[in-house]
Chains A and B, each alone.
Chain A
């Protein structure tokens, strides 16, 4: 039998349904891959092999009876941000090392209800703060891709680096991820995978370890646009336990595929050209326009004038919310607690200093600062105004265009250690992705080409709120036109 782990989610689901192979077989194949690869790629922080096999056998029993949900028997990886009942959940932090939640996130509950199999928990930047997976307390994830120019280990991006590497390295059929400023789309772009962040409120945040509540949104990383559409539908649901959850149906987005782009108007924002962007990224953007034009779309030049303020606003709002969201990690009820402390204040300070890594501490400090008396209006309130302007920028173009095409990232994957010196360089990774978070819009990254070192590059499609259908439709055209078939050569 051919290598089951190379199947797309769609092909695997078809094969499972047709009983060409069992869930246990494909699960075992992934377990073998993970066992072999994880020492090098470090994508998984927890493997739940026994649980996976148990779930797989239960799926097989259902499949044998002709039953089963939309994801029946499909082995998935779960970003360690999603709380999983009885399985350690750390959000990549020493603060939560050993924390086993007695509850399940809504997103993962939905997956299990649809028949999916959990292979394990995927590595990530600590509390989802990072763009390279280097802030994880469990060590960096390594990108399965290597540049032809160097043998250096590359980052898979972040914060969903474990999810991206696992999908690119055939360590799961698809994975859950989360995106606060680009944490799904940037790693997808760096690993030649598809990453979709839906409209804010589509997927419940209940049971997701919070980074920045008003920006955090769950979504899939998958091998194809179709796979992303399938997995996203299972992840989304209206959830009364999340007050920001939207009471809307998740439609069958695979219906949006194969429709071409006839009649669609695609906006090209002039502000998404940044200094130092590699020529091949610019070329790829041009190719994207051409593909869409060929598929019948009209290309429209647009302006989103406040784009340049998005990144600064994001790096005020996200840390501000984080500084409050992470206050619960105080060493009192769960998580890390300092062994020795001379007073209550000392216990707080020492526990948090030991439990949180440098990047988390940096952002919590920024967040506390921008919310503090005397600075609140100058930073936080002003950032909220910028956020409003950015949303208005988008609102103003939706009568002219149906979707927007941009590069996903300013560059391809970089080497581990390359950008650790200057956090600002790292923050620039989010420059094309944060706007969709600030405006709550759906955005997808589709692999569309390779740079001169043979590394994948992605194109991003941003759509109207709740119009994932058009985003998938456009992404499908890009995927088909690009004919992106490159896969990382196995070196691990």
Chain B
């Protein structure tokens, strides 16, 4: 990505955007962070609430070890420092979706410290985003305002669910980079199995901190670590789709630039993105910011983790996207582009590998990323739900490789296979789609066509590209099954080209 694409040109000159993201990822876990109550989507209101979640007198939190394991796994996946000693703190504020009056979080000593994530930009270049920390915290419940004109209802199903908050350094420089970063984190989490990444259900959402500065100021910040080179930031809360992230940043950056170019000052505040209006709106300013009175939760002891446990989790990590990308390129000779497309989903990469063994990997990659991907998407299916098993794609490619069918016929074969008519070999047999490589049969067809069209045959001598018409006729005559290379060779010989 060139520097220019990161600049926004205002009336008074170019500006740079600087962003840091806080990603809230719901921990994939059957139970909540401290209560043992079930976690799940689609339960009736307040059906997944324990007395601990509802903040009843005398109820105490007990840490869910599996959630800790998931956080450690995620930290390792982000190449981050795992803190063997961390501590839970209370963030105090009153709201009806927060039954205890405090959220248990980790302000002072998070479970995961600094890390780094390598992100592919749209143009195929890579950039690094520093991870400042990852901490565990409880989610709040949900308020429902639209059931009654006069009352609001509280659903505590989500209250106490474990979240990982992943805080990045201000290393993100454009809306595209922000989206690419969130996609990358999402992919890593899904590979790790620590978050399902479902943004529609709110299981992954981001707070975006946006500031703008004059061209060159970011470089000064990078060189010195001095934040005063950067502009005042605004935090856009809870953006829950890639599209909205991009839109919100674009709007917010323009808004800040306009303020600055009009001689004003950006106020540090929390803002909300309204996708309908396409704008961000002030939620509360720094002056109105609540005093959360953080202090260590006295109901919970400091969390101490054995190195051996961390090592065990590390030893059992799955292959992560970056390693897989490098391996696919090295082992299968794939282009970076193909590798990046394949690793975007673990199941897609697995499917590819299952189909590519001993076959032309590039050809397999094309079938997987184009034809099959499109069919699955059109039918709202994932790769692990594909009606066409990987062995069938492998066989299809084998049939192409061995000249049994042409690439063109292969599409037709694939249609039949998709429709459940059997393996590619069976389909070819059943529908008689085998390619004609018998030169005698092709010569016969060529001779007949030349004989029937002497004027066209004569014209080819002057206009060699007109041979295409003859190819088409031969293919038609052979039902598309003639080997195109053989047809070409014979035509050229017979037409004296």
Contacts and interface: CB of A to CB of B under 8 A. Distances in A.
Interface of A: 82-83, 89, 91, 96, 99, 101-103, 105, 205-210, 212-214, 240-244, 320-321, 323-324, 326-328, 330, 332-334, 344-345, 348, 368, 371-373, 376, 380
Given A328-B100, A332-B99, A208 B58 contact: yes
Given A212-B298, A344-B96, A380-B295, A105 B58 contact: yes
Contact of A333 (B55, B299, B300): B55
A326 B58 CA distance: 11
A87 to B, nearest CB: 13
A371 B61 contact: no
B58 A205 contact: yes
Contacts of A324: 90, 92, 101-102, 293, 295
Nearest to B51: A103
B63 interface: yes
Contacts of A99: 57
Interface residues of B, number: 28
Interface of B: 51, 54-63, 90, 92, 94, 96, 99-102, 154, 291, 293-295, 298-301
Nearest to B95: A344
Contact of B291 (A89, A101, A373): A373
Contacts of B298: 212-214, 244, 321
B99 A333 contact: yes
B32 to A, nearest CB: 14
A484 B293 CA distance: 49
B99 A328 contact: yes
B371 to A, nearest CB: 55
Contact of B92 (A102, A206, A213, A371): A371
Contacts of B99: 328, 332-333
Contacts of A206: 58-60
B62 A241 contact: yes
A332 B154 contact: yes
Nearest to A95: B57
B299 A244 contact: yes
B60 A209 contact: no
Among B94, B298, B301, the most chain A Cβ lie within 10 Å of the Cβ of B298
Contacts of A345: 94
Contact residues of A: prevailing secondary structure:
loop
B58 A334 contact: no
A485 to B, nearest CB: 38
Contact of B60 (A101, A243, A326): A243
Contacts of A103: 51, 56, 58
Contacts of B54: 333
Contacts of B295: 320-321, 324, 371, 376, 380
Contacts of B61: 243
Contacts of B294: 371, 376
A324 B88 CA distance: 14
B102 A327 contact: yes
Contacts of B56: 101, 103, 328, 333-334
A328 B62 contact: no
B341 to A, nearest CB: 46
Contacts of B63: 243
21 contacts: A82-B58, A105-B58, A207-B58, A207-B59, A209-B57, A213-B298, A240-B62, A242-B62, A244-B299, A320-B295, A324-B90, A326-B101, A327-B94, A330-B96, A332-B99, A332-B154, A333-B56, A334-B56, A344-B96, A376-B293, A376-B294
A210 B293 contact: no
A72 to B, nearest CB: 26
Contacts of A328: 55-57, 99-101
A101 B295 CA distance: 28
A240 B35 CA distance: 12
Listed from nearest, the 3 A-B pairs whose CB atoms lie closest are A327-B101, A371-B293, A213-B298
B62 A209 contact: no
B101 A241 contact: no
Contact of A89 (B57, B154, B299, B300): B57
A210 B101 contact: no
B57 A210 contact: yes
B284 to A, nearest CB: 14
Nearest to B88: A243
Contact of B301 (A208, A244, A376): A244
Given A328-B56, A368-B293, 18 more contacts: A105-B58, A206-B60, A207-B59, A209-B58, A240-B62, A243-B62, A243-B63, A324-B90, A324-B101, A327-B102, A328-B100, A328-B101, A332-B99, A332-B154, A333-B54, A345-B94, A371-B295, A372-B293
Nearest to A212: B298
B62 A330 contact: no
A365 to B, nearest CB: 12
A207 B54 CA distance: 14
A447 to B, nearest CB: 31
B64 to A, nearest CB: 11
B299 A243 contact: yes
A373 B301 CA distance: 24
B290 to A, nearest CB: 10
